[in-house]
């Protein structure tokens, strides 16, 4: 009875008659997340950090209004409020805090039954978010100023877009576009009942990224595809991509391979292994840059460590319980090493993590870390969700030789109410 009353109250906010022929709906999200780190970033923190082992409360409220106008025109607006508490260290840019912003403001204009044009400030999320993500895990999600042509019909859908990523600042209505350019094409084709193919091309232009202490104008082309299955007794997910272009006077030639296979031992219980092979730069004297750029990807190893797949090979066995109703629980081990000793490693937002200027830059060690993580999510109703994350990361010899290499302990509790 209580759940049905809550549902009825929430539904009063949906499909309200507005200005005669229009209808308006309201909704939002309230999320609180407690996080605790021991030896954050392996103890390798800036000099202005107060503690290497912070705990923090990550707060987020997002409110939106959706207006449906005549001729199937749609206007969507969303306010965002994120803040970090208790952690005495300086804020992490783009992630921790954005006190108040107009997070999204977009217009959908139908061009035909299958085609529409979306214009304005908006989020992008494609595939498994290995290149372009909303970044749901961190406190502040990622918006873009963009134009997106969207097609959807039966077994085929695609997006063709061009955008400017937005620089998120911690204050009130102070965000703004960067000079970076992100655009391309992303398709999804279902060729059998539960088998899919996603081809894509992405163009990225920026002078904000850094590779082995060098900055410059980067023009990068990414061409790739993802093949995967819907949930069944045997499942697969394979993604391969190649990058070309130029960075300063260097020719870009980079590769990414990612995979995930699992089988159902019994109903809702799976065992599998995933991994990646992403080579790094081969030499700083050959006229090429072989460092792969994951653009604006989601954190591939969760929140335990801020580590990207660039210049790594990784093997990750796991077990999972997924009943598609209330529970999603995954226990995973990830064994991560450097692929090339001529290149460093990066954070998920493609900022250099190692080597560190002024410290050992000539290490030939390859092991980066072993990560052991448990992620348990519970969805009692469509409005509430709860999540527990536990992580332990044993620092490998490369981290120990190139700077502070302390082991990381992490846990987090998250609760979300959506309406």
Give the C-alpha separation, 105 to 76, whole Å: 6
How far apart, in Å, are the Cα atoms of 3 and each of 6, 31, 247, 308, 384? 5, 20, 56, 41, 11
**Which CATH number belongs to the domain containing residue 135 in this structure?**
2.40.160.100
Q: Are 338 and 366 in contact (CB under 8 A)?
A: yes
Residue 344: alpha-carbon gap to chain centroid? 21
DSSP label at residue 47:
T
DSSP label at residue 398:
H
Measured in degrees and rounded to the nearest 5, phi and psi for residue 185 equal -135, 135
Residue 152: alpha-carbon gap to chain centroid? 24
SS (H, E, C) 189-215: EEEECCEEEEEEEEEEEECCCEECCEE
Cis geometry, peptide bond prior to residue 355 (ω within 30 degrees of 0): yes
* Number of domains, the chain: 1
Can you tell me whether residue 137 is helix, strand or coil? coil
Its domain, for residue 360, covers: 2-418
Element (H, E) at 10: helix 2-11
How far apart, in Å, are the Cα atoms of 258 and each of 237, 261, 291, 349? 8, 11, 16, 18
Q: What is the pLDDT along the chain (419 residues), one digit of tens a residue?
A: 333 333 434 567 888 988 778 999 999 999 999 999 999 999 999 999 999 999 999 999 999 999 999 999 999 999 999 999 999 999 987 889 999 999 999 999 999 999 999 999 999 999 999 999 998 888 999 999 999 999 999 999 999 999 999 999 999 999 999 999 999 999 999 998 999 999 999 999 999 999 988 899 999 999 999 999 999 999 999 999 999 999 999 999 999 999 999 999 999 999 999 999 999 999 988 999 999 999 999 999 999 999 999 999 999 999 999 998 899 999 999 999 999 999 999 999 899 999 988 888 889 999 999 999 999 999 999 999 999 999 999 999 999 999 999 999 999 999 999 99
Q: Length of the chain, please?
A: 419
DSSP string, 282-313: --SSSSEE-----TBPPPTTTTSS---STTEE
The pTM for the full model equals 0.93
CB atoms within 10 A of CB 1: 5
Q: Are 65 and 25 in contact (CB under 8 A)?
A: yes
């Amino acid at each position: 009875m209580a759940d049905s009353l809550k549902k009825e109250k929430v539904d009063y906010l949906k499909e309200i008659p507005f200005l005669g022929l229009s209808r308006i709906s309201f909704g939002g999200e309230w999320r609180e997340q407690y996080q605790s780190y021991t030896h954050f970033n392996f103890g390798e923190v800036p000099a202005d950090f107060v503690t290497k082992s912070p705990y923090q409360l990550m707060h987020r409220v997002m409110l939106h209004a959706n207006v449906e106008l005549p001729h199937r025109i749609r206007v969507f607006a969303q306010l965002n409020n994120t803040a970090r508490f208790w952690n005495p260290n300086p804020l992490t840019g783009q992630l921790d805090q954005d006190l108040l912003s107009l997070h999204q403001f977009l217009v959908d204009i139908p061009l035909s039954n299958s085609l529409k044009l979306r214009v304005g400030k908006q989020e992008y999320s494609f595939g498994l978010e290995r290149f372009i993500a909303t970044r749901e895990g961190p406190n502040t999600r990622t918006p873009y100023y963009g134009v997106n042509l969207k097609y959807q019909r039966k077994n085929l859908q695609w997006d063709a877009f061009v955008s400017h990523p937005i620089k998120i600042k911690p204050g009130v209505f102070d965000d703004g576009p960067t000079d970076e350019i992100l655009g391309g094409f992303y398709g999804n084709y279902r060729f059998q009942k539960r088998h899919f193919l996603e081809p894509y091309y992405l163009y990225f232009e920026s002078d904000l990224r850094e590779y082995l202490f060098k900055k410059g104008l980067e023009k990068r082309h990414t061409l790739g595809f993802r093949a995967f299955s819907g949930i069944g007794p045997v499942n697969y997910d394979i993604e391969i991509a190649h990058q070309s272009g130029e960075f300063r006077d260097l020719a870009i030639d980079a590769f990414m391979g990612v995979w995930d296979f699992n089988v159902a031992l019994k109903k809702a219980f799976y065992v599998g292994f995933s991994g990646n092979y992403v080579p790094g730069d081969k030499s700083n004297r050959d006229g090429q840059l072989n460092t792969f750029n994951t653009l604006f990807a989601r954190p591939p190893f969760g929140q335990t460590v801020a580590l990207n797949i660039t210049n790594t090979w990784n093997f990750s066995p796991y077990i999972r319980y997924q009943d598609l109703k209330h529970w999603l629980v995954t226990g995973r081990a990830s064994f991560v090493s450097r692929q090339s000793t001529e290149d460093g490693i990066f954070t998920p937002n493609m900022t250099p993590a190692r080597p560190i200027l002024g410290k050992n830059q000539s290490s030939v060690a390859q092991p980066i870390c072993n990560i052991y993580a448990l992620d348990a999510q519970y969805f009692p109703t469509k409005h509430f969700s709860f999540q527990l994350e536990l992580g332990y990361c044993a620092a490998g010899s490369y981290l120990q030789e190139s700077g502070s290499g302390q082991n990381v302990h992490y846990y987090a509790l998250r609760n979300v109410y959506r309406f």
